[in-house]
Amino acid sequence: MFDFTIAGVVAPIFLLVFVGFTVGTVGGFIGVGGGYMVTPALIVFGFPGYMASGIDMTHIAGKGVVATVRHRQLGNIDWTMALSMVAGTMLGVELGVRLLVHFKNLGISSVVLLITSVIVMFGLFLYTQIETRRAHVKTEQMTRDGEAVGREIQTSSLPRFFQNIPFFPIVRCRTARVVVSMWVIVLVGIVTGVLAGFLGVGGGFIRVPALVYLVGASTHIAVGTDLVEIVFSGGYGALRHSIEGHVDMMAVLFMICGSMLGAQFGSIATSYVRGPAIRYILSYSLILATFGAALRLTYVLTGQSVEILALLAVMLTLGEMIFLCLFIVSLVWFAVRRKRGKVVPPWVPALVVS
């Protein structure tokens, strides 16, 4: 147990390191900050809600740097794309925060925030799940036909539409092999930034699908590039929260130590899998988070009288982190077995690289 004198809480160090580790693993693998998972966990450990948000956002900035260092080594970052998006992201986050303050003043921030979360996350889950399923089937077909299968298989036609928008300046993102109007990237930054600022999260779970389906980046590059954005948006959020007095640095320190280990594993795990595997994990994280938000929304709409709903929401959110970690571990385990020529389940070869 450690006495966090600034937060005014006594909490076990092990749990903070563990949460940092699990969210670091998931974040390093699918390129999300994991704010929607960590904040509830910290509240369960006894941190006040505002402190939980501040500690979470600050740790996300640190974890973003850790994961960025590793993804840079793996060649998963397109710096042109990342830096083109930064200004849009920052502007979007600021607009999102102001929008949230507006709804707060109207006294309906919780309901609007939860409804938006449910709609956005469920919509993204549906699209990602359907598209990834199609990509999975296509990969299996190609494998059966004896064709060489690339690390990335996408079936969405949206990137072609956005890449054909002719507004000057057109940028060439060499690592992602994408040529697209800079305004498309900036717009993606603004829109995802608004949602991130409004929902109070890093925004990775919106930005990764947007980079894949709108800009046309491969999933691995979307993950690495998004983590660079998370460093900027997380750093900005951390500064705002620190100024407001929502950050206990010792809690952040313990969480970063855990997430350092997790982010290594999650980032390196991406080198074992194809793009659709990352998108599957992303979509499962989205649907689980949607269930959590839906339970909390029901709880708020029923006048906070059915306590079991709040309890279920907390359990689901905490269980989600462990479930996703185990899923990632199992994918790496199967990838290694396949490399060694051992038997793996039939759905595995289409998701991992040999």
Partner 1 sequence: MAESSKARAAVKFCFWTLAAAVLIFIVARAYTNGQMAAWFYYEAKVDGYAVNARSIMHATKEAPAVLKVGPFAYVDGERAVPVRKGDRLPANATGVIGADVVKRGRRARLQADTLVVTIPWQIAEKSGFKFKDTFQHKGIETYAWGAVWNVLMTLGLGLTLGYMAEGFTDLLGIKLEKIRHFEGH
Give residues 62-91 in contact with partner 1 (rule: CB under 8 A): 62-70, 73-76
Q: How near is the Cβ of 354 to partner 1 at its closest, in Å?
A: 6
Question: Do the strands 9-11 and 2-4 form a parallel or antiparallel pair, or are they unpaired?
Answer: antiparallel
Nearer to partner 1, 129 or 298 (CB): 298
Q: Could you say whether residue 268 binds partner 1 (CB under 8 A)? A: yes
C-alpha 141/C-alpha 253 separation (Å) is 47
Q: Which of 238, 288, 321, 325 binds partner 1 (CB under 8 A)?
A: 238
Given a contact cutoff of 8 angstroms between Cβ atoms, the answer to whether 172 and 68 are in contact is no
C-alpha 98/C-alpha 200 separation (Å) is 11
Residues 212-231 that bind partner 1 (CB under 8 A): 218, 220-221, 231
Q: Could you say whether residue 155 binds partner 1 (CB under 8 A)? A: no
Q: Could you say whether residue 61 binds partner 1 (CB under 8 A)? A: yes
Residues 129-148 that bind partner 1 (CB under 8 A): 147-148
Q: Which of 235, 287, 333, 344 binds partner 1 (CB under 8 A)?
A: 235
Which one of the spans 2-10, 12-20, 83-91, 160-168 is the region binding partner 1 (CB under 8 A)?
2-10
Site mask, partner 1, residues 99-128, x = CB under 8 A? Answer: -----------x--xx--------------
Contacts with partner 1: how many residues (CB under 8 A)? 79
- Whether the CA torsion 324, 329, 332, 337 is positive or negative: it is negative
Nearer to partner 1, 190 or 209 (CB): 209
71: left (phi over 0), alpha (psi -120 to 50) or beta: alpha
Alpha-helical runs (H) found in 158-218: 158-163, 182-199, 204-210
Residues 300-339 that bind partner 1 (CB under 8 A): 300, 304, 310, 313-314
Q: Could you say whether residue 297 binds partner 1 (CB under 8 A)? A: yes
Q: Which of 11, 16, 51, 228 binds partner 1 (CB under 8 A)?
A: 51
14-48: b (≥16 Cβ within 10 Å) or e: ebbbbbbbbbbbbbbbbbbbbbbbbbbbbbbbebe
Backbone angles phi, psi at 174, to 5 degrees: -65, -45
Nearer to partner 1, 71 or 207 (CB): 71
Residues 15-34 that bind partner 1 (CB under 8 A): none
Nearer to partner 1, 128 or 175 (CB): 175
Element (H, E) at 173: strand 170-173
Q: Could you say whether residue 285 binds partner 1 (CB under 8 A)? A: no
C-alpha 211/C-alpha 336 separation (Å) is 29
Q: How near is the Cβ of 167 to partner 1 at its closest, in Å?
A: 26
C-alpha 82/C-alpha 77 separation (Å) is 8
257: left (phi over 0), alpha (psi -120 to 50) or beta: alpha
Nearer to partner 1, 158 or 239 (CB): 239
Q: How near is the Cβ of 67 to partner 1 at its closest, in Å?
A: 8
